[in-house]
Structure 1
Amino acid sequence: MYISKKNATNFELRGNMTFLIPFDDSISLNINMAKKGSIGGWIDNAHVYTSTKACSKVKSLFGSAWYACIQGFRYSNPNCPIQPGAYVSSGIDIDKVLNTDFPKRFYYGEYKMTTTFTRSSNGEKLGCGVMILDVLRPWES
């Protein structure tokens, strides 16, 4: 997935996601955020979140953004589980994707968020993703 500039002021989320197995509640979720240090380098474990029942938890964390993603990636059903397949987005308004139930307050700075999905039963790694986030002070743009 990537962010694409639609015009001078609007951005959209594009890309694809491929599921080889159903994305359901038999999967565990781990989010580990590292903070960029003042002299460079990443300081791991700035924020850590672990949960079982990944599909239900992701749906809960995404809040109303879940339905925007479901429509944008053309999933056939907004409920868990998400069936195996390739799902492609031709563009989702980024403002709709940012309206989540994730914590609203963070210390400013640069973060590297690593998300890992594992099988709950045996810890087998199923997939992961890394995203860089830049949290600005309210008066910065």
Structure 2
Amino acid sequence: MECKFFIYFLSLLIFFTDDLIGERKFFPNLPVGEYKLKFHGAFICNESINYPLFYNMHTSRVSETKTVLTGKYIAKIPFDDSLTLDLNMAVLDTVGGWKYNAFVYRHSNACSRLKKFMGEVWRTYLHSYEPISSDCPMGIGNYTMNGFDLSLLEKFNFPKQFYYGIYKLKIQYINKEDVPVGCLYIVLQFTRPWEYNV
């Protein structure tokens, strides 16, 4: 009899506790899913190399949720479709080292491919430079980037679900002789949407 009473009491407790708590929110801890991006920095790949496409970029946090890319871009050669776009992402592992080639993308026609990859953000990207470039190819000259909003990267033609973690994205442009002519690192974090402001 005592056992039946205990089970009955436990059932009532569970039933009413669920009603008092209300709707439970389930936050799965899966390794992949929809994401929000956090940016930790941007820097040149190798300062000792004088790249023909020289990116001296850095990130600036202008609000709690907005990070912009600013800096100088010096083009001694045109950025056009004679170059190859090479993207390589390294993931930060659990012991603090980088595991390279976590995501690799390489395609010819760098300017057109970057334009397609950026999608609707392409025009905003070009208008963040001074002087403003109109389209592919970007000509020779000295450009100043006046705050490209990096949150727009979420609108790129990139998978809308990805593996969570911190990545070091290497953006590299390669000429026909297979020599890098421009290189930039961006360190970013793919976070779960409910962990974004934590």
TM range, smaller chain: 0.7 to 0.9
The structural deviation recorded for 1:115 is: 1.6
Name which of 59, 71, 89 aligns with 1:33: 89
Q: Which residue of 1 aligns with 2:186?
A: 131
Name which of 107, 129, 134 aligns with 1:78: 134
Q: Describe the shift of the 1:105–1:118 C-alpha distance in structure 2 as closer, same or farther (beyond 3 A).
A: same
The structural deviation recorded for 1:5 is: 2.9
Superposition RMSD in Å: 1.8
Number of aligned residues: 140
CA contact (8 A) 2:118 2:156 kept: yes
Q: Describe the shift of the 1:102–1:117 C-alpha distance in structure 2 as closer, same or farther (beyond 3 A).
A: same
d(CA) in 2 for partners of 1:64, 1:23: 19
Q: Which residue of 2 aligns with 1:5?
A: 61
The structural deviation recorded for 1:117 is: 0.9
- Letter paired with 2:72: N
The structural deviation recorded for 1:86 is: 1.0
The structural deviation recorded for 1:75 is: 4.8
- Runs of 5+ unmatched residues, structure 1: none
CA contact (8 A) 1:13 1:92 kept: yes
Percent of aligned positions that are identical: 36
Structure with greater helix share of residues: 2
- 1:18 equivalent to 2:74? Answer yes
Q: What are the residue-to-residue correspondences of 1:42-121 with 2, within 5 Å?
A: 42-96=98-152, 98-120=154-176
- Runs of 5+ unmatched residues, structure 2: 1-56
CA contact (8 A) 1:73 1:88 kept: yes
The structural deviation recorded for 1:6 is: 2.8
The structural deviation recorded for 1:21 is: 0.2
Higher alpha-carbon Rg: 2
